[in-house]
Structure 1
Amino acid sequence: MHSDKKELSLKESQELLETLKARFEKNTKRHEGIAWQDVAAKLTSDTGKLWSLNEMERTGGEPDVVGYDKKTGEYLFFDCSAESPKGRRSVCYDREALDSRKEYKPENNAVEMAAFMGIEVLTEEQYRELQKLGKFDTKTSSWVITPPEIRKLGGAVFCDRRYETVFLYHNGAESYYAARGFRGLLKV
């Protein structure tokens, strides 16, 4: 994982805001009716959320605004990279799965990595919402939050897009592959 310092310098913050603004303006269909200046105002008032977005960016997630929750007043950022974020691949599902491996352990797991970054792993429903905004994971796959009854039995679930269809699959939670990572959600 990266540094324990969960703050960005002024220069890092400005660079990230420029990157996010450019992506926001390039992909207007993802967030119709949302104004960048409103998003930027929320971001500049919460350095912790800005740090989390930087972690999403640093690990290849290409975060972008995909919605607004009227109840909470929060903007929703999802990882919008075409494929599962490169810096978050080759991870098993959670700590229990990582600890269960006797050999060839991956360096990390999706659940703890997301928690460290201050983000949430997408649910299947959120993943399907993301797929309405474009074509994602056509060569990779992404872990999604696994229902407790499946996890209790040792499994975990992941999604991808093949044949113009979004699929939900299962695997042992301890499995990991170079083409499987996870996508995150950040509420700002």
Structure 2
Amino acid sequence: MNLAVMKKLTPEQSEELLHILEDRFEKNMHRHEGLDWSNVQAKLEAAPEKLWSLHQMEATDGEPDVVAHDHEKDEYMFCDCSTESPKGRRSVCYDQAALEARKKHKPENSAINMAAAMEIELLTEVQYRTLQQLENFDKKTSSWIQTPADIRELGGALFCDYRFGHVFVYHNGADSYYGARGFRGALFV
């Protein structure tokens, strides 16, 4: 079966998702002041594969919304804006190597594998900190972020959360996983 066919929403699914995204966009203007939904919608309608990724973000409780616009590239950044790390993406280790390294009590998946399957990216530390300037997320949970290669080569991975009025960046073994740790994704349209 052709994967491109599988990664396309029906017209009904597209319409429903666009309605959800528009409603969220309008209710949260503080995340994207000065932007107009009609411009975002036009970009989405021109890129149905991006709608498929946003559908995946929505289906895993990420509550994606526009958080930035790059004027030079005319590109919008969608990010998971659920209050806590998306429920459908928790209890995962960092990447495939970490998943394979676990001998007992393996999680079902890894953050990097899930993000790749959804065709989104884990947030960088800078993106995570920028998101936290819009409102406070992960007050009870934490989210894996992109980890520099030198840290990952030593077996570690980074995650962030928001506690005591601050964003914290921590490290853990890449093979660790917790019920309160997932990941937030970014999608550029």
Q: Same fold (TM over 0.5)?
A: yes
Superposed displacement of residue 72, structure 1: 1.6
Give the Å deviation of 1:70: 1.7
Deviations 1:49-108 (A, max 9, x none): 000000000000000000111222110001000000000000000000000000100000
Tell me the equivalent position of 1:80. Answer: 81
Give the corresponding residue for 1:157: 158
Query: 2-side partners of 1:73 and 1:185: how far apart?
Result: 16
Provide the rounded CA distance (Å) in 2 between the counterparts of 1:138 and 1:163.
Answer: 9
Distance 2:97 2:51 in 1: 30
Corresponding residue for residue 170 of structure 1: 171
Q: Does 1:63 align with 2:64?
A: yes
Task: Name the residue aligned to 1:111.
Answer: 112
User: Which runs of no fewer than 5 residues in structure 1 stay unpaired?
Assistant: none
Q: Which runs of 5+ in 2 are unaligned?
A: none
Give the equivalent residue in structure 2 for 1:183.
184
* Secondary structure of the structure 2 residue equivalent to 1:60: coil
Residue 77 of structure 1: SS of its match in structure 2?
strand
Quote the offset at 1:150 in angstroms.
0.4
CA positional deviation for 1:135:
1.0
**Any idea what SS the aligned residue of 1:18 has?**
helix
2:26 aligned partner, one-letter code: E
- Deviation by residue 1:99-154 (Cα, 9 ceiling, x = unmatched): 00001000000011101101000001000000001110000000000011100000
What is the aligned-residue identity percentage? 62
Q: Report the Cα offset of residue 169 of structure 1.
A: 0.3
Say whether residues 1:54 and 2:51 are aligned partners: no
**Runs of 4+ residues deviating >2 angstroms:** none
- Aligned partner letter, 2:45: T
